[in-house]
Chain A
Amino acid sequence: MSLDAVILMLVAMAILWGGLIVAIIRLNRHDLPSLDDVHRDL
């Protein structure tokens, strides 16, 4: 793989997968589900 391609693949991973992780953390910090919620969902 060319260096350009490697860098862009890593940047895409960092932004999209990193963005997902940040979004999940933000959401949970705002309002964490209780054990009761988890039990009820299943």
Chain B
Amino acid sequence: MSGMTSTTNEAQRRGAFSSRKVFIFAAIGSAVGLGNIWRFPYVAYENGGGAFLIPYLVALLTAGLPFLFLDYALGHRYRGSAPLTFARLRRKTEALGWWQVAICFLIAIYYAAVIAWALRYTFFSVNEAWGDDPEGFLFGDFLQAGDPGVTLDVVVGVLVPLALVWVVVLLIMALGVQKGIGLLSLWFIPVLFIAFGALVIRALTLDGASIGLDALFSPSWDALAEPGVWAAAFGQIFFSLSIGFGIMITYASYVDRHNDMPGAGFVVGFANSGFELLAGIGVFAALGFMAQASGVAVEDVAADGLGLAFVVFPALISEAPAGALIGVLFFGSLVIAGLTSLVSVIEVVISAVRDKFEMTRVGASMAVGVPAALLSLVLFSTTSGVYVLDIIDHFINQYGILVVAVVSMVVVAWGLRELPSLAAHLNRFGSLPLGRPWYALVGFVAPVALTYVLIDALVADIKEPYEGYPAWMLNVLGWGSAVAVVVFAVAAAQVRWRPETSLDAESDTLKKEIQ
């Protein structure tokens, strides 16, 4: 009974999801983001087509899901934000949590900008505002981008939707874990699946759709012998599942302790990959139409990232019958997928601030959200916003998320040898018993695979400056960001916890929580 009371008090103090279902929807909302729609299809196409399915599944089962379970175990057992979880695990590992928090803060400020662009493009789709030159419209009329550099020249057309995105995010965050994040996910994830499903059906009925699907699924079996293809599969799974940078630790800390976390993880993992497959089918069916209409090969229109979303798709919308409908569904899906991911990213920071300073929900949301919004507006609503975004995104993904993920896994598995106790925790209510195979996957396979991905990226960046940007921009914004998050983490870990926050995993109160 006392355990139940302390759980209720903890839930009231920190916030909690009302059920496992809400947690699963929130976790799917976090995992299914922009990368599912604009990254996976191209990665699969470029890395063996249909044959990519094999390394992709191997990566999902041997690294993605096991790592997801590790995040779940940490957050669910130690019931805290990333810094509090690591501090409770061992006081000296707290900086790992703050490293993840700093990464999330940086991601949040640029991720909001992409959502703002997608929001504008949802409306641009109605009258095809880009005319017959989508690329010129994007960089000229809309972003007003000049030469690479950093300016403070504001672009009002970006500033207004970006401010709107932040107002919505702040409102959601202030509403709390259940009424904000939980309800957003519960309502908008089904809307996302329905909207994107409708888009896929429309794309499949376009002339030339089968050409695109043929390009995506035709297997190139030779690709399986290339290490780069396997690295791409592990990288895709890793970046797509929202693992290793605090989100799943934070979300798992909001779940009632009598829960089948590995079972929930399987649902989240397969929902995320299932959506990626749906995105691949929809995007390549549409690209097939585009290729046929333009009289070119699919490889000439295939693209990923910003190019796919804001250049290729607008061109396609202009060509296709009922193109406005495709545009609204596509960009609307990007907005929803982005928003449910953005709230999960910023929640990592808010949760950490709440835990460390014992702040109220609204207070912490404002203390984090307002500076984040201002920084986001200053950096990304200017004529140089697209370049700053591109550089920070690349470096913080490769040398922020990847590095902290590998370091955390190695520390937990080898430094602290905590995998058996974490497995025991998940096994109490889990439907899938975790044992030695899980230790091997989390302690060896996943870190080795991700280290390979990291080295691969590092070699590429050393050989050639990323996207040909000036060295000073790459050093200050790119490498600078990757180093700054580490410096911040070490400094933040020196700040003392409030006396009322128990860091002792053996304390009576916490024991009741974590058992």
Contact = CB atoms under 8 A, between A and B. Distances in A.
Interface of A: 1-2, 4-6, 8-9, 11-13, 15-17, 19-20, 23-24, 26-27, 30-31, 33, 37-38, 40-42
Given A33-B19, A42-B186, A8 B217 contact: yes
Contacts of B263: 23, 26-27, 30
Counting from the closest, the 6 A-B pairs by CB-CB distance are: A8-B50, A23-B266, A5-B217, A20-B270, A27-B263, A19-B270
A5 B213 contact: yes
A19 B272 CA distance: 11
B21 A37 contact: yes
Contacts of B259: 31
Contact of A40 (B18, B57, B269, B276): B18
Nearest to A15: B57
A9 B431 contact: no
A9 B259 CA distance: 34
Contacts of B214: 1-2, 5
A19 B216 CA distance: 21
A5 B213 CA distance: 8
Contacts, number: 92
Contacts of B51: 8
Interface residues of B, number: 35
A4 B50 contact: yes
B274 A17 contact: yes
A40 to B, nearest CB: 5
A26 to B, nearest CB: 6
Contacts of B210: 1
Contacts of B207: none
Nearest to A34: B19
Given A4-B50, A27-B431, A40 B19 contact: yes
B22 interface: yes
25 contacts: A1-B210, A1-B213, A1-B214, A4-B219, A5-B49, A5-B213, A5-B214, A5-B216, A5-B218, A5-B219, A8-B49, A8-B50, A8-B219, A12-B53, A12-B217, A12-B277, A16-B270, A17-B274, A23-B270, A27-B263, A30-B263, A31-B260, A33-B21, A37-B18, A41-B22
Nearest to B263: A27
